[in-house]
Structure 1
């Protein structure tokens, strides 16, 4: 048995199959596929088609590939005809554009337009350069002015330093004066409190005087009542005397025996008159005492009111003086602070 040459061994024609071709004897065309019954011409064509076109295809293409190819060829021919017409139109447009590109008049027009634009750009650039130069000169002038202003400000600062030192010393003096004024204000507050206490004491004294006046008024009222009682008693005594005299006169007229009674009645009348005189004296004394008490109470009230008025006026005067001193101190402090504020240096705009 002879060993076949390896170079004559053919592999299966199915894509991806490395098996040798089935060499089983038979008639007709030599076999080109292996012994696998699934590896045949139709299956190999479908496999190659699937590898060449990985997109999914309809199942009818696998069943009737020739008819499907004929239909697709017809569609592609129609599309190609339309594309040829479009290409002809585009070719005409292209030729027109190429003629314009080769036209010297068009080139001359473009050169003229470009030259005009370039001239405008040059003029604009020249104007910008002129403006930039003017701005540079202005900036240099402003810088020179700023340098001069800075030098002037430095000179002013040197001149103001002694003034500032003087103002600081003055401010320290003002602080000392303010402290003194505050101490004076504290003393004034103490004095005001003392005077307020004195006013309270005088008010209490005035109340006591008013109480005394009320008591004197009560005494006067009592004396008036006593006077009224004495007057009533005197009138009663006079009435009794008149009655006794009447009885005596009637008794003397009727009978001489009644002279003794008349004398007695006269004696009673004289006694009544004497009693009336005594009561009248007491009444005068009571009236005098009432008038004296009223006058004394009036003098005490007037004296108390005068003392209260004098103390109140003195307190108001002292309070007004203290307020004026405080206002003057505040005014002096404000003026000193205004003078001690350093002057602002002059700016270039000034």
Structure 2
């Protein structure tokens, strides 16, 4: 059995996460039992939710245990199988974690899924045609539920969730306005992802009123629905431009992941505008995955959704790539290539 390099959570962050929280080890993969498969990972997904799992605090999911392989989505191929439904060479997606190989009890529901790479690249099953894409779908379709002609917005617009959100919203006849960090990301959002406008929040330097003015110019009819990935002062600016009966889908609050407080400047707007604000965890809504993956796969296969990827090389690069993603240094979906 092959040697397997793994990244463990060695200790918990005190404030901002650092590379010192992780530990690289090498182990031998165990022999397979009946019903198990050995998966050779090709790509590892890095996602903001992982930062919350590093803390030992109450959350929607259990904390990442110390001394164990960091949680994470993976795509790869079956290297060896003792399960009748899987054969060597099958392309699969699962939650193999920050390691080069995983041994999977393939009979357990939902732990491994075969994917078709003839029209959709393997790596896309960690992004646009995976959890981030389904996240965008659920927030847009089930919570915001926009009507044709309405205006919807999203933070982290050039990322994996934001790019899928734009394609899904445009397919429903919406005006789509993004918020991203830096002119290059905004150009990409407008020229390649189909956003009608993308606003560079860094140009407003934490000034809520200035960003709200830019949103007023970009959204002359106000904001009917908003997808939140960041929180903080950017959400305050969005709320100032939100229409009556607007909807906000709260997926992430990355501005507070290192322990910073996230006060809301104008909570009275929730009542004044009779706003619906709903947080969600996409893994709790498995019924939406089949229709979402079908639509997202078709968007990618036909070129209507062209998401960008940031790819770090090698398992040892995962911690720094993860920390960079938390600071917005990635461009599009952050992956680690493992082969």
Instruction: Please state which band the TM-score falls in when normalised by the shorter chain.
Output: under 0.3
> Relative to total residues, which structure has the larger helix share, 1 or 2?
1
